[in-house]
Structures are given as C-alpha cells and as structure tokens.
Amino acid sequence: MLTDQPLRPARTPNATTAGANHAIVIGAGMGGLASAMRLGAKGWKVTVIDKLDMPGGRGSSISQNGHRFDLGPTIVTVPQVFRELWSACGRDFDADVDLRPMDPFYEIRWPDGSTFTARQSTEAMRAEVARLSPGDLPGYDRFLKDSERRYWFGFEDLGRRSMHRLWDLIKVLPTFGMLRADKSVYAHAAARVKDERLRMALSFHPLFIGGDPFHVTSMYILVSHLEKQFGVHYAMGGVAAIAEAMAKVIEGQGGSLRLKTEVDEIVVEKGVAKGVRLGTGEVMPAALVVSNADAGHTYTRLLRNLPRKRWTDNHVASRRWSMGLFVWYFGTKGTAGRWKDIGHHTILNAPRYQGLCDDIFIKGKLAKDMSLYLHRPSITDPSVAPEGDDTFYALSPVPNLKFDNGVDWDREAEPYRQSVETVLEQYMPGIGETISASLVFTPNQFRDRYLSPFGAAFSIEPRILQSAWFRPHNVSEEAKGLFLCGAGTHPGAGLPGVVASAEVLGKLAPDAPGFTATRSAPDLRLAAE
C-alpha cells in the first residue's frame, strides 16, 4: 500500500446510468474533472470513472504518519481559468476554494551561493536582475515584452481554441515565424541576457510541464508573463482540495464519480463511441465519451481493438515523451521554525544546466548530479503536517522509461533517494535525523499509478512539432463522439493547460439532447439539474 490512510468510499451511482444525455469521462484528473463540469453545464449527466480512491489524478494526495503529501502540482498560476470554469457552472470559485497568493514565488539557488528570488512586482524582479548582472537589465525588459506578446497569441488565442483542423495551423504559421517559435526557450533567453544564471532563471519553466528548455519552442516564455500578470498561488488543502471542490460541483450538477474503477476499453460501434467496458467486464453505455487518460494510453490501450488512421501504436511510440520524475515525499519531526531560509518553493541547481538536460532528455542517462525542486507547504498550510512538524517533497527530473539504457528503479530508487538527502543536507543540516515519514515515486509509479506511457510525468513533450495541430486533438479523429482532454492533448500540460483543454472541449462538444441554455450563467446549473 502507498498510504496508511483509510480508503474513502467510492462515490458510485446507485445504478449504471444510461440515456441519450449520459456522458462518461475516463479519468478524474484535473482535465477530466473540468471537462465533466463543462459537460454538466451543457446539460449532460456525467459519470466520471477513475482507478484511484480520490479525485485529482496527479493532483491527488497521500497521507502518512500525519503528513499529507500533495503528489503533483503545487501552484496555481492562472486562477482566472478556474474562476471562468466555476462561472460557467453557475458557481463561485472563491467561495469553494481558499487560494493564497505567494510572495515571493520561489527562490532559485546556485552552487556558488548566488540566489534569485522571483516576485510578482516588475521592479522587484528588475532589482534581482540588477543585483546579479546590471548590464542585462535592458535585455530583461525586452524579454518581458516578448513574453507578453507570446502570452496573448499562445495562451489566450491558440491555447483556448481547438487546433484539430490543419487549416487552423496553416493560418497561424506566419505568426509562428514572426515570433521565432522555431527557437528554443533557452535560445531566446540567451539572446536577451548574458549572465548564465539569468538565462537559467528565465528558461527553466518548461521543466514544469515536461519540456527540455533547450529544445521546447520559445512560445513557452509566455510563462514569465503569466507569473507577472497573475501571480503564483497556493490552494489551502493543496491541489487535491481544488479537485474535491470540482467533484462537488459535478455532483451538484447531477453527475457522479465512480472511483476505484478502471476502464479497460472504449466501446466503438461503426466508428462511434458508445460507452466503456470496465476491467470487471461491465459495459457502461454513453452518448458521449471523454478520455482524460493519457492520450498515449487512450489510443494504444483503450482503443487497442480499433483500426486507427493517425494514432497507431507506432506513431504514438515514435513521439518524444516528457522526462520522468523522481519525487521524495518526506516529513520531519519538530522542525517547524527550523531552516528559516527554506521557503515554500525553492529550486536547488546542479553545477550543470544544459549537460544535465541532455542527460535527461537526449541520452537517457541517470546523472550523478541533480537539480531539485523543493516544496515546503507547511510554511503556508499547517494542515499538511502534525503541529511542530514539516512536510516536504523534493523533485528531481530524470529520464523516462523509453530509453534502451533505462534505469532499473526497483534497484536504484533507494540509492537515488539517499543522494537527494545528501544534497538537501547542504541546505538543511541535520535533516536525516528528523525524518518521520518517507515515500518515493519514480517513473515506475507514474507508469503504474497514472497509466503514463514510459512513465513520462507530463505525457508528450511540448516541442514545436508536438504542439497545436501536431498534438492529440481534443476531438478524436479515430471515433465520433470521442473527445480527449488533459496534459497529452492540446494545449498541453500544467494546470492552466489541462483546464484550458476542457474549455476547448466544451466548445466542441454538443449540448445534451433537449437541453436549452439560459441567458445567465447562474441559471445554467438549474437548467442542467
């Protein structure tokens, strides 16, 4: 067992729902929950099915010895996508979720002792740049303008509409060319600033969505504008609390969650999705099916018996997949108030940047050095740890399982954890003596728990020829009535991306038969019920 907490009862409907207005969502990840909410607002009676014992997918949690570990995403960068989602359902996001702004956002540390503290204030950020490299201020100002321009085009335009028609891509190619989308995030940062530390600080963000900063399209520098414009937030109770709030909205719309249940296959008849077959053999009919399972798993497993035109097994396997993750979740006893220089979010850099990324993404080599993202939510949220204690996780990007020289994580997990602890001892002396809870996730857990191909933590890597039209579409070309959402689909990984994928899906999916939307958003909930 991965947890010592009792399994919560499955939120299962009294009987298998059938009917012309019944929709099934496979997977209760954040994209699946958001899609279920969008469908509920369009009059569908939705059943969400998930193999885990709680909603949230990668955003779920596990408890051990009084510590609650948020397993995946830790920050919310574009809260308006959630507010708009709630509004579409006639609800108020801020009444359901306690979102706290972070200031500072995070601190970046280098082996030479230098640091960079990211904040929302442009003047505070310019002061940080000037402290490290005053000559790079003009370039930083240009970088911010570049970031804002790509935000309006890449997120607000392309990221919130469907890209399933080739013509949609052709129309925007001139803009891609003008914005030099062919350049990498790192190359764009390097063209603006000279200090290598600043180049890292302005280019590392793709790692949070599974991309290699040295190869992912420079469109992703838009993240710098997201942080500046909207801030970085933490949800009290973790992202799992947002998932729980989403589940309650779905249930309030008349939908249901069927947990601890695995879908074995999507049932397709004469080219039309007709429902799902569960691992038990039970068939659940539906007039509309949404898969929030990884797009690779959807096509190679859930549609394994369907002849596919585009997303064949070979085509899926040939994609470049995101890196894997090694995550050490641990609790410490009696350390509240200790290590006062370690905040909520800290990035601890290895001596190498490009070399380490090459090892992870290109060579598939488990390097001896490592860069760590250290999460300490107990600084902000006392509910994650017993009184006087702390809860952490340390995350290290590692190769996925696709490489021929793949890592044997059954053998390497504990030695690697010890290496992580050794690195942390440099910043938090005595940490090894305080450990009161410990749990490790490797790419094996991502493969088995989340059904992620090759243990990739963020599905398909967001390179330019794996983005927009090239990415799995939100409406499937393999079966009518089948839609996809989540990290492996357009627009991509990360909380804003997966919630936006549900927004795109909501524009593509029809209203439920007989449903008539009312004029005001608050009435949509009543109409759906």
503 closest CA partner among 87, 23, 58 = 87
Phi then psi dihedrals of residue 377, to 5 deg: -65, -20
> Three-state SS across 458-492?
CCECCCHHHCHHHCCCCECCCCECEEECCCCCCCC
User: Can you point out the beta strands (E) in 78-223?
Assistant: 99-101, 106-109, 115-118
Task: Tell me the residue type at 112.
Answer: D
CA dist 132 and 333 (Å) reads 36
- Contact at 8 Å (CB) between 294 and 486? yes
327's tokens = 């995550």
In CATH terms, the superfamily for domain 22-99+236-318+460-528 is FAD/NAD(P)-binding domain (3.50.50.60)
* pLDDT for the residue 4: 36
What's this model's pTM, rounded to 2 decimal places?
A: 0.92
Q: Which of 91, 37, 64 is nearest to 502 (CA)?
A: 37
Rounded CA-CA distance 458/476 in Å is 20
| CB atoms closer than 10 angstroms to residue 74 | 23
Residue 479: partners with Cβ closer than 8 Å, 6 or more residues away: 266, 268, 271, 272, 273, 303, 306
- Which two structure tokens, joined as six digits, stand for 334? 């009696």
Q: Where are the strands (E) in 354-398, listed by range? A: 372-375, 390-398
Q: pLDDT digits over 406-463, tens only?
A: 799 999 999 999 999 999 999 999 999 999 999 999 999 999 999 999 999 999 999 8
Is 31:498 a contact under the CB 8 Å cutoff? Answer: yes
d(CA 478, CA 295): 12
In angstroms, rounded to a whole number, what is the distance separating the alpha carbons of residues 301 and 330?
Answer: 34
**pLDDT < 70 regions, the chain:** 1-18, 159, 171, 173, 176-179, 517-529
CA distance 512 to 502: 16
For 400-421, the pLDDT digits (tens) are 999 987 799 999 999 999 999 9
What does the pLDDT read at residue 154?
A: 72
pLDDT at 18: 61
Q: Which residues contact 268 (CB under 8 A, 6 or more apart)?
A: 274, 303, 306, 479, 482
The domain segmentation of the chain, as residue ranges, is 22-99+236-318+460-528, 103-231, 323-453
**DSSP collapsed to 3 states, 269-335:** ECCEEEEEEECCCCEEECCEEEECCCHHHHHHHHCCCCCCCCCCHHHHHCCCECCEEEEEEEEECCC
* Distance separating alpha carbons of residues 521 and 525, to the nearest angstrom: 8
